[in-house]
Amino acid sequence: MECRLNIKDKIHWIGVNDRETTLFENYWPLEKGVAYNSYIINDDKVAILDTVKFNKTTEYLEKIKEIIGDKPVDYLIVNHMEPDHSGSMLALLSTYPEMKIVGNKKTFPFIEGFYGITKNFYEVGDGDSLELGHHKLTFHLTPMVHWPETMMTYDETSKVLFSMDAFGGFGSLDGGIFDDEINYEFYEDETRRYYSNIVAKYSPMVQRALKKVGSLDIQIVAPTHGPVWRTNPGEIISLYDKWSRFEAEEGVVIIYGSMYGNTAKMADYLARIIAEQGIKNVKVFDASKTHTSYILSDVWKYKSVVIGSCAYNTKVFSSVATVLEKFRNSGLKDRYVSVFGNKSWSGGGVSGIDAFVEEIGWEKIGQSIEATYSPKEAEFKALQELGKEIAARLKTDYPE
């Protein structure tokens, strides 16, 4: 992509696309790639905001050179130290040895620990400013969104918020880089998937950060992944606000684990009942087929969750157990939950999910339904009642 891509005034996007890495953090699928966004302000002083992952360093350094020619880079502003953004730092410092590395006091131990760099540090505190000539940057410390050292940088001149991973999403930038140039629905989904997978555990800190930058006049949100939000920055800010308050939409996510189809049959039956009641957003996931990444993203979106499992060596089936562990770790609150499953002797699946429900504190709808060998008349009747109860609750919560 054109490396001179201008954001505003003297600010350029110098990010890169990564379509080779298959798993983000070696866990979350990147079916549509990811972009590592970096920005350069080519003012009297040259400042770069965050770098890119190490696998893209050569391309990245070329982009910088094309913009600034023989000028040196004066500052590298480190909003976030995760290696997908700091991975080219050492190469950048080797190319520009006089460059000052700007961070807060929590940033520098990461720099030394990861890269052995101990010099050129320029420490800033909350509210400090840095003049580049025309542009004036201020620093806003936003710890634990989602690492200890995280901060955001605001350009007072151009009203751009460099927000690091906050407001970022999966998906490479395929030509379109601004919110008015892209398929919005795709990037909204991928941004929610990124939020629920990567940032969500720290939702209370996200709320704190939103309050902190809420008084700024933000005309452009420039995150380190996903689109740059220039036409409607308020949209992504309000989505983040909604997600970090655990606000949900009308809909049901049914997740099941099944070896021989009996639990799957119950899931499909329940889905049909709920749809018959007029609930349009009903998603059914086989936990053994769909990566937890996508399930978590939809559970972040919809209010009602139904979890089903066969009994497996006295426990919840392994693929469902993985999903439950991710739910637990994500800190998600305020969901409805219902439970079903199958056994052939003393069980373990349904009782395991029940223990999870007890622990996570979501509101339970209906009684747990457990079939033995295979679901029969009694279980189908119970599923009918459950489906109606879930739908009725949603209709009350989300009146048309």
User: Given the rule CB under 6 A, which residues bind ligand FMN?
Assistant: 258-263, 310-314, 342-348, 373
In the complex, minimum distance from the CB of residue 255 to ligand FMN, in angstroms, rounded to a whole number:
13
Cα three-residue angle 388-393-398, rounded to 5 degrees:
125
Q: Walk across the sheet containing 11-13 and list its strands.
A: 6-8, 11-13, 39-42, 46-49, 75-77, 100-103, 121-123
In the complex, minimum distance from the CB of residue 347 to ligand FMN, in angstroms, rounded to a whole number:
5
The answer to whether the CB of 293 falls within 8 A of the CB of 29 is: yes
In the complex, minimum distance from the CB of residue 340 to ligand FMN, in angstroms, rounded to a whole number:
10
In the complex, minimum distance from the CB of residue 369 to ligand FMN, in angstroms, rounded to a whole number:
13
The answer to whether the CB of 21 falls within 8 A of the CB of 13 is: no
Helix (DSSP H) and strand (DSSP E) numbers for the chain? 12, 23
Q: Which is nearer to ligand FMN, 268 or 385 (CB)?
A: 268
In angstroms, the CA 149 to CA 235 distance is 26
Q: Which is nearer to ligand FMN, 163 or 368 (CB)?
A: 368
Cβ count near 34 (within 10 Å): 25
In the complex, minimum distance from the CB of residue 353 to ligand FMN, in angstroms, rounded to a whole number:
13
Q: Which is nearer to ligand FMN, 314 or 329 (CB)?
A: 314
Query: What would you measure as the largest C-alpha separation in the chain, in angstroms?
Result: 78
Instruction: Count Cβ atoms within 10 A of the Cβ of residue 351 and give its class: 0-12 exposed, 13-18 middle, 19 or more buried.
Output: buried
Q: Which is nearer to ligand FMN, 79 or 342 (CB)?
A: 342
Q: Which is nearer to ligand FMN, 70 or 345 (CB)?
A: 345
Q: Which is nearer to ligand FMN, 118 or 346 (CB)?
A: 346
Q: What tokens were used for 290?
A: 């769909």
Q: Give the number of residues written for the chain.
A: 400
Q: Which is nearer to ligand FMN, 259 or 378 (CB)?
A: 259
Q: Which is nearer to ligand FMN, 84 or 370 (CB)?
A: 370
In the complex, minimum distance from the CB of residue 254 to ligand FMN, in angstroms, rounded to a whole number:
14
In angstroms, the CA 221 to CA 230 distance is 6
Q: Which is nearer to ligand FMN, 41 or 284 (CB)?
A: 284
Q: How far is CA 308 from CA 149, 219, 223, 250, in A?
A: 40, 45, 37, 20
In angstroms, the CA 14 to CA 289 distance is 37
Instruction: Count Cβ atoms within 10 A of the Cβ of residue 380 and give its class: 0-12 exposed, 13-18 middle, 19 or more buried.
Output: middle
The answer to whether the CB of 259 falls within 8 A of the CB of 271 is: no
Of 53, 63, 67, residue with least CA distance to 1? 63
In the complex, minimum distance from the CB of residue 99 to ligand FMN, in angstroms, rounded to a whole number:
59
Instruction: Count Cβ atoms within 10 A of the Cβ of residue 6 and give its class: 0-12 exposed, 13-18 middle, 19 or more buried.
Output: exposed
In the complex, minimum distance from the CB of residue 389 to ligand FMN, in angstroms, rounded to a whole number:
23
Q: Which is nearer to ligand FMN, 38 or 319 (CB)?
A: 319
In the complex, minimum distance from the CB of residue 355 to ligand FMN, in angstroms, rounded to a whole number:
15
In the complex, minimum distance from the CB of residue 308 to ligand FMN, in angstroms, rounded to a whole number:
8
